[in-house]
């Protein structure tokens, strides 16, 4: 009987080892990491993402190749559909910026589609409970960590044939706290296993609290999120305007395309026009940049 028990124990251990290898449940140092945002954060660096809410692949490619670490694809406050976003990501599949998607909500369908089309970051808005983030992790991760199902998608063509074995270590989950209710349970949200970043939604936090930045009440809400996130050992995110004015932040949402176009126009029409030394009447050649 003792021999049988020992044999069964060895079989269980062997099976567990085989499953761990097959489903990529090793430590991150043993899994191929292709999400460069994750590696940069692990190195202690700050990362910034430009925001895209238009379906034009050319605009997406311009943003993805401009120097941003990731692209914040806006699907909560835009008319973008998953077919649009799939085409955008595929159009610049070799761009250095990693595609992150702010999904409309933490539903199984929304997160499944976002990961299937190749997003390596899932940004969840309006997080007021830890349960919402537990669901987000569950839907974004393959078993045994979650319950993401296998299906069709362009993820394999984007990230490699070993995607199934490496996805759990590469797909990042971001929780956006936007309300006083979310702040009240920031410790529970940050403590959810699988949540990588807690993002402070500066504008909505002001909208829902009725306080402006600089107000002691507003700042106490921000401080509580920061403290609880740091206590949980997670990264803190915020708007790019906070990049140089507040300490402890590593993940930033940059401006949207409309804002960047306005800024570019003002530069080219003003004294800082980088093309001001181009000979008068000389037109740029299409496809070339005459003003490096």
For residue 184, being part of any structural domain is answered with yes
- Name the most confidently modeled range: 13-22, 192-201, 254-263: 192-201
Q: Is 73 helix (H, G, I), strand (E, B) or coil?
A: strand
149 closest CA partner among 111, 204, 179, 97: 111
Measure Cα distances from 26 to 38, 169, 272 in Å: 16, 9, 52
Token couple for 107: 């539903």
Report pLDDT for 273: 60
For residue range 138-158, list pLDDT tens digits in order: 999 999 999 999 988 999 999
For residue 230, being part of any structural domain is answered with yes
Report pLDDT for 265: 86
Q: What's the domain range around 159?
A: 31-265
Report pLDDT for 286: 43
For residue range 197-253, list pLDDT tens digits in order: 999 999 999 999 999 999 999 999 999 999 999 999 999 999 999 999 999 999 999
For residue range 156-198, list pLDDT tens digits in order: 999 999 999 999 999 999 999 999 999 999 999 999 999 999 9
**Vertex 52, ends 258 and 256: CA angle to 5°?**
35
For residue 170, being part of any structural domain is answered with yes
Pairwise CA distance, residues 264 & 287, whole Å: 18
The better pLDDT of the pair 282, 153 is held by 153
For residue 277, being part of any structural domain is answered with no
pLDDT above 50: residue 272: yes
Pairwise CA distance, residues 57 & 207, whole Å: 33
- CATH code, 42: 3.20.20.60
77 is catalytic: yes
For residue 6, being part of any structural domain is answered with no
For residue 217, being part of any structural domain is answered with yes
Report how many domains make up the chain: 1
> Residues 6 or more apart from 181 whose CB is under 8 A from it?
128
Give the active site residue among 7, 11, 42, 77.
77
Report pLDDT for 264: 85
For residue 140, being part of any structural domain is answered with yes
Pairwise CA distance, residues 97 & 191, whole Å: 28
For residue range 19-66, list pLDDT tens digits in order: 444 444 445 568 999 999 999 999 999 999 999 999 999 999 999 999
95 closest CA partner among 144, 36, 53: 36
For residue 9, being part of any structural domain is answered with no
Report pLDDT for 285: 41
Kindly compute the dihedral angle of the four CA atoms of residues 195, 197, 198, 202, in this order, to the nearest 10 degrees: -150
């Amino acid at each position: 009987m003792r021999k049988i028990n020992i044999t069964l124990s060895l079989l269980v251990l062997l099976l567990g080892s085989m499953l761990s290898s097959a489903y990529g449940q090793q430590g991150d140092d043993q899994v191929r990491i292709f999400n460069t945002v994750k590696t940069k954060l692990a190195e202690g660096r700050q990362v910034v993402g430009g925001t895209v809410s238009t379906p034009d692949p050319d605009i997406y490619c311009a943003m993805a190749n401009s120097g941003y670490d990731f692209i914040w694809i806006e699907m909560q406050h835009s008319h973008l559909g998953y077919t649009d976003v799939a085409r955008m990501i595929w159009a610049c599949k070799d761009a250095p910026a990693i595609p992150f998607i702010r999904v409309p909500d933490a539903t199984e369908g929304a997160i499944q589609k976002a990961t299937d089309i190749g997003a390596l970051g899932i940004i969840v808005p309006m997080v007021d409970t830890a349960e919402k983030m537990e669901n987000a992790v569950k839907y974004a991760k393959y078993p045994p960590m979650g319950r993401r199902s296998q299906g069709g998608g362009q993820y394999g063509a984007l990230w490699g044939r070993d995607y199934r074995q490496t996805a759990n270590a590469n797909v990042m989950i971001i929780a956006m706290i936007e309300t006083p209710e979310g702040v009240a349970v920031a410790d529970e949200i940050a403590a959810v296993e699988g949540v990588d970043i807690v993002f402070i939604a500066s504008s909505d936090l002001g909208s829902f609290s009725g306080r402006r930045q600089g107000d002691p009440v507003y700042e106490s809400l921000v401080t509580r999120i920061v403290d609880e996130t740091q206590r949980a050992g997670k990264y803190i995110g915020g708007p790019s305007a906070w990049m140089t004015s507040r300490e402890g932040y590593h993940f930033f949402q940059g401006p949207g395309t409309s804002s960047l176009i306005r800024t570019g126009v003002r530069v080219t029409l003003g004294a800082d026009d980088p093309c001001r030394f181009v000979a008068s009447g000389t037109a740029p050649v299409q496809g070339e940049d005459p003003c490096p």
